[in-house]
């Protein structure tokens, strides 16, 4: 039996009755191994999938199963009141419906009604159930009230079928919860907003083997996506050749070239409240694509590679806002005259905010930390000192929230 540290964050882990309940064991492990005190609150249906003994063994405390057990401790009120975070994973369509309508017919739904801490739902169900207007309205209701409802992942479902509805990876759910916990009781201030983020670096193919590319790892863009999801946003992440794991609760669209990124950006931005272009987009692409591998010939110099300009996606999004009030944020990767070039770029691109970061010499690209100056079209300049890319992302979202009102 382990003794909990008094200052250990208290997590109530709700588990509802879906096949993905077994993945909550991995989530539970991550919480306990990182020093959280976890009370597991499985529904009766969840216990068909994973038994009480497993939850008790993994959490080091009895699972909270029965409303009518230990009534003198008033568990139906106490667990929610005392929690620093309630997370429900998996959250079935039925559980979301009950939560949205305030039903309280078991210990988990009672816990949800009494919780005054942040609440995260990680839904998992078949695509049809997720897409049903009833579920979508319930999700919208929960988000409007301040809960963070992660978007389900796309992939293999219970049987041979695939689609949207898979429980996000437990590691990614854990990361999302960690961010929500770090924000504390502050309202998820991007609730109800759709944000589009580009990340990674485009690749412009020369032949089936070679491409023009850059050193972007996608870390900065993924940090923007993960932090926006933790602040309650619906997030579409346009990922150009990044190999990072999908952040939990984020719709990820994979692209490769600048032209593909442009098409995906125009589509995703149609109903977006804000778009952040963190991707490193190639300004040029080879004028011709060789369908076979370009061969070297003895004694013959290689032909120069002719390039053509790629469309400037950021400038286009800024000039043709898909909806009134849509906020457009760009990044500027500069190697010299960083701030002067950044200011000129802000004017040229026509965006509302520009994150100017110095690159080259081991800076920014591929690193876990970044430093920048955030320029506003309104003349504001905010220095963001070197720190984790997530911290920079939070500062960007603070500025976005302030401007979205």
Tell me the catalytic residues. Answer: 214
Q: By CB under 6 A, tell whether 328 contacts ligand PMT.
A: no
Residue with smaller CB distance to ligand PMT, 37 or 318: 318
Residue with smaller CB distance to ligand PMT, 12 or 332: 332
Which x/- pattern, by CB under 6 A, does the window 334-373 give for ligand PMT? Answer: -----------------------x-x----xxx-------
Helical packing angle, 23-33 and 170-183, nearest 10°: 50
- Residue 360 β-bridge partners: 363
Region for 5 from its dihedrals, namely left if φ exceeds 0, alpha if ψ lies in -120 to 50, beta otherwise: beta
Q: By CB under 6 A, tell whether 278 contacts ligand PMT.
A: yes
Q: By CB under 6 A, tell whether 203 contacts ligand PMT.
A: no
Torsion of CA 38, 115, 140, 66, to 10 degrees: 60
Q: By CB under 6 A, tell whether 219 contacts ligand PMT.
A: yes
Residue with smaller CB distance to ligand PMT, 95 or 392: 392
Q: By CB under 6 A, tell whether 49 contacts ligand PMT.
A: no
Q: By CB under 6 A, tell whether 122 contacts ligand PMT.
A: no
CB 258 within 8 A of CB 311: yes
Per-residue DSSP letter, 116? -
SS3 state of residue 397: helix
CB 351 within 8 A of CB 331: no
**How far apart are CB 219 and ligand PMT at their closest, in Å?**
4
Angstrom CA distances, 396 to 93, 110, 193, 197, 354, stand at: 34, 37, 15, 12, 9
Q: Which of 332, 353, 373, 384 binds ligand PMT (CB under 6 A)?
A: 332
The stretch among 82-90, 123-131, 139-147, 279-287 that binds ligand PMT (CB under 6 A) is 279-287
Q: By CB under 6 A, tell whether 255 contacts ligand PMT.
A: no
Residue with smaller CB distance to ligand PMT, 94 or 175: 175
Residue with smaller CB distance to ligand PMT, 126 or 262: 262
Runs of H (alpha helix) within 197-337: 219-230, 258-268, 313-319
Q: Which of 109, 114, 216, 241 binds ligand PMT (CB under 6 A)?
A: 216
What tokens appear for 242 in the block? Answer: 């990044």
| Residue tagged 């997720």 (tokens) | 130
Instruction: Give the span between the Cα atoms of 181 and 230, in whole angstroms.
Output: 9
Instruction: Give the span between the Cα atoms of 263 and 272, in whole angstroms.
Output: 15
Q: By CB under 6 A, tell whether 277 contacts ligand PMT.
A: yes
Q: By CB under 6 A, tell whether 283 contacts ligand PMT.
A: yes
**Interface contacts to ligand PMT, rule CB under 6 A:** 216-221, 258, 277-281, 283, 310, 312-314, 330-333, 357, 359, 364-366
């Amino acid at each position: 039996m382990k003794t909990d540290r008094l200052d250990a964050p208290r997590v109530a882990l709700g588990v509802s009755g879906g096949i993905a309940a077994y993945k909550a064991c991995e989530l539970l492990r991550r919480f306990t191994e990182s020093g959280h005190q976890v009370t597991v609150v499985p529904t009766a249906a969840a216990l068909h999938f994973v038994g009480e003994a497993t939850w008790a063994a993994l959490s080091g405390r009895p699972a909270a199963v029965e409303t009518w057990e230990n009534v003198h401790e008033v568990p139906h009120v106490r667990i929610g009141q005392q929690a620093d975070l309630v997370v429900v994973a998996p959250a079935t369509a039925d559980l979301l419906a009950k939560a949205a309508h305030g039903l309280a017919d078991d210990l988990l739904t009672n816990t949800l009604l009494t919780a005054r801490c942040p609440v995260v739902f990680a839904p998992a169900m078949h695509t049809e159930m997720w897409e049903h207007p009833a579920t979508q309205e319930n999700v919208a209701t929960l988000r409007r009230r301040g809960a963070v409802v992660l978007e389900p992942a796309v992939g293999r479902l219970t049987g041979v079928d695939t689609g949207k509805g898979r429980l996000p990876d437990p590691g990614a759910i854990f990361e999302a919860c960690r961010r929500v916990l770090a924000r504390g009781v502050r309202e998820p201030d991007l609730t109800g907003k759709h944000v589009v983020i580009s990340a990674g670096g485009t690749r412009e193919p020369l032949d089936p083997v070679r491409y023009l590319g850059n050193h972007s790892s996608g870390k900065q863009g993924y940090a923007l996506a993960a932090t926006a999801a933790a602040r309650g946003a619906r997030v579409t992440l346009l990922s150009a050749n990044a190999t990072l794991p999908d952040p939990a609760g984020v719709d990820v669209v994979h692209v490769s070239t600048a032209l593909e990124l442009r098409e995906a950006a125009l589509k995703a931005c149609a109903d977006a409240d804000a778009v952040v272009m963190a991707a490193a987009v190639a300004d040029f692409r080879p004028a011709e694509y060789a369908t076979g591998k370009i061969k070297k010939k003895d004694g013959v110099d290689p032909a120069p590679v002719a390039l053509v300009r790629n469309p400037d996606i950021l400038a286009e999004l800024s000039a043709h806002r898909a909806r009134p009030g849509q906020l457009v944020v760009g990044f500027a990767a500069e190697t010299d005259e960083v701030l002067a070039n950044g200011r000129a770029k802000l004017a040229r691109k026509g965006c509302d905010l520009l994150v100017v970061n110095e690159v080259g010499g081991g800076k920014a690209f591929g690193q876990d930390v970044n430093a920048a100056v955030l320029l506003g079209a309104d003349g504001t300049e905010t220095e963001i000192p070197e720190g984790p890319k997530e911290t920079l992302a939070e500062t960007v979202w603070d500025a976005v929230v302030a401007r979205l009102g």
